[in-house]
Amino acid sequence: MATPGIFRREHGPRHPFGQFLVGGAALTGNLSGQRASGKGFAMIVGGGVDARVQTHFSIRILEVDYLMTRFERTVNTLSYQNDVRVSTGIVFRFNLNQR
């Protein structure tokens, strides 16, 4: 997926961000020996907040994303899947430009 991101350059302890990703999705499956696959469109819109611990290390407090996929069915109709993803995590930044 390709993405333009929105990041606020702050020197405070919290860093909000937003993202919009578009790209392709692949679907494969097997049911009773019958194999099926397909390719479609995918999109993610979301954002969150990181809390800086050190210069190159942060804790992702919260990230919430909306994920949409669209596949074409065999009868020439479209199948949509809409999901919400909520996550936390650890962020490592490999920035060579120190300020």
Position 2 pLDDT exceeds 60: no
- pTM for the complete prediction? 0.72
Count of C-beta atoms within a 10 Å radius of residue 53: 12
Query: pLDDT at position 43, please?
Result: 94
Query: pLDDT at position 10, please?
Result: 61
Confidence band, pLDDT 50/70/90 cuts, at residue 87? very high
Question: Residue 68: exposed, middle, or buried by beta-carbon count in 10 A (0-12, 13-18, 19+)?
Answer: middle
- What is the residue whose two structure tokens read 């992702």? 60
5-43 tens-digit pLDDT = 556 566 678 888 888 999 998 878 887 887 877 888 999
The residues facing 29 across adjacent strands are 36
